[in-house]
Structures are given as C-alpha cells and as structure tokens.
Amino acid sequence: MNMNESGMQTGSSFLEEIIRESNVDIRACYQCQKCSAGCPVVSAMDMYPNQVIRQIQYGRREKVLGSKSIWVCASCHTCSVRCPNDIDFAKVMDTLRHIALRSGIIAGEKDVPVFHMVFLESIKRTGRIHELSLILRFKLKTRDFLKDAGLGWQMFRRGKIKILPQVYSARREIKELFNTYEKGAAQ
Ligand code: SF4
Ligand code: SF4
C-alpha cells in the first residue's frame, strides 16, 4: 500500500489515479451494494456500481474503462446519496468517462461516448445545446442517418428543434471553465 498527498492509503496505480482525479476515497467501500440496489439503470450495465469499485481496487484498468457501465450511467446521483460511507460514486463514474476518453480505450458502449463528446463540444462552443447541430454532428460521426429520423421530424414539427442556435450571454465564462478543466487534466 502507498499513500497519496491527501494521506489516503492506496493499493494499485489505477486506484491512486481514480482517487486523485475524483477526490473520492473509494477505499472506504465495504461492498454493502446499496449503490447498485438503487441504481435505475443497473439492468443495462455489464458491471454493477459496487463491482466497478471492486475492480478499480484490483487495478483492472482496461476492464473498467472498457466497460459498458460507465457509459450507461445516467449521472442521477442516487448511488452517492444512498452510500453509508459518503462515497460520491457518480463523481467516480464521471472521472472514469473522462479517463476512458483520454486513454482512447474502446468503449463497451459505442454511441454514448460519441454523444458525450459531441454534447460537450456543443456546450463549449455556444454555452448551451443547439439540438439541430448536435443531432447533425452525432449522425455524421456515427454514420447512422436513419435511426430515430421519424422521431426527429416529429420534434421539428412541434418546434422542439430550432434551426438557429440561441446566443447565450455566459458563453465566454463557460468556455473558460472548459479551458481550466482541460489544462488541469493535461498536467
Ligand atoms: S453504497 Fe457505498 S459502501 Fe456500499 S457498495 Fe456502494 S460505494 Fe460501497
Ligand atoms: S449515478 Fe450512475 S451509477 Fe449512480 S445510481 Fe445513477 S445511474 Fe447508477
């Protein structure tokens, strides 16, 4: 076991990496499974939340970062609220997604990481989502042009998809937030 700068004991380098980036001490997990029992999307996961923690503790980097679970997670924070040890597991999942993208590991879920990137790029560029350009970029990247086309047309007819993006006054501040995060992640 090693110690990180916060004085936390860590076992594997992957565990250290997750604790350092998320600032969540997952070593406190005692596998009670309350997180998994309350997760609304657990049936679609290939590894339950408590199993993700165990695999991180074992240092199984490729297995965790290549899992479907980290992309199926809906960031609802139910697990974080239910944990008796105050482990913010939703934050850990977010950290895992960022590391997976940086590492270029092939994701267990194909389209969700693409959507994740396109979504963040859109927020960074305009400060808020413009649905039409989001859909077009996503379709160009996945090359799946017909899927959900009927649904998209119905949304357009009901005015849910605007042709022009709205200008958001705090656009510059949001861009700065992204730049600050990207600089920190690169260090
Ligand atoms: S609820 Fe907390 S302590 Fe229990 S398994 Fe999940 S992360 Fe571990
Ligand atoms: S944040 Fe993710 S892992 Fe946690 S309960 Fe919600 S969907 Fe499940």
Q: Is 47 in the pocket of ligand 2 (CB under 6 A)?
A: no
Query: Does this model's pTM top 0.85?
Result: no
Domain CATH code at residue 45: 1.10.1060.10
Q: Which of 76, 103, 130 is the last residue of a domain?
A: 103
Same-domain pairing of 97 and 49: yes
Which amino acid is located at 140 in the chain? L
User: What is the Cα gyration radius of the chain?
Assistant: 19
pLDDT tens column, 55-109: 999 999 999 999 999 999 999 999 999 999 999 999 999 999 999 988 888 777 7
Q: Atom 6 of ligand 1 has which residue's CA nearest to it?
A: 35
Q: Is 78 in the pocket of ligand 2 (CB under 6 A)?
A: yes
| Ligand 2 center to 185 CA (angstroms) | 23
Which of 26, 71, 73 for mutating ligand 2's site (highest number of atoms within 8 Å of CB)? Answer: 73
* Residues contacting residue 155 through CB under 8 Å, at least 6 positions apart: 131, 161
Q: Are 137 and 121 in contact (CB under 8 A)?
A: yes
pLDDT tens column, 2-47: 444 444 444 579 999 999 999 999 999 999 999 999 999 999 999 9
Q: Atom 4 of ligand 1 has which residue's CA nearest to it?
A: 32
Q: Which of 87, 103, 119 is the last residue of a domain?
A: 103
- Taking CA atoms, 138 is separated from 11, 75, 115, 118, 141, in Å, by 39, 21, 6, 6, 5
Q: Which ligand is nearest to the CA of 93?
A: 2
Residue 89, classed as helix, strand or coil, is: helix
Q: Atom 3 of ligand 1 has which residue's CA nearest to it?
A: 29
Ligand 1 binding residues, C-beta < 6 A: 29-35, 49-50, 53, 82-85, 87, 89
Same-domain pairing of 6 and 93: yes
Same-domain pairing of 98 and 120: no
Range of the domain at 44: 2-103
In which element (H, E) is residue 75 found?
none
Q: Atom 3 of ligand 2 has which residue's CA nearest to it?
A: 73
The closest-lying atom of ligand 1 relative to the alpha carbon of residue 33 is: 5
Q: How many CB atoms lie within 10 A of CB 162?
A: 11
Same-domain pairing of 87 and 124: no
Token pair 């413009």 is at which residue?
Answer: 130
Q: How far apart are CA 9 and CA 54, in angstroms?
A: 15
Same-domain pairing of 31 and 87: yes
Tally of structural domains, the chain: 2
Q: Atom 2 of ligand 1 has which residue's CA nearest to it?
A: 83
Q: How far apart are CA 20 and CA 26, in angstroms?
A: 11
State the Cα torsion 13-83-116-17 to the nearest 10°: -10
Give the pair of three-digit tokens for residue 128: 């808020």
Same-domain pairing of 31 and 48: yes
- Mean pLDDT throughout 123-139? 87
Same-domain pairing of 119 and 46: no
pLDDT tens column, 72-85: 999 999 999 999 99
Q: Which of 55, 79, 103 is the last residue of a domain?
A: 103
* Residues contacting residue 103 through CB under 8 Å, at least 6 positions apart: 65
* Residues contacting residue 4 through CB under 8 Å, at least 6 positions apart: 10, 16, 19, 20
Same-domain pairing of 27 and 92: yes
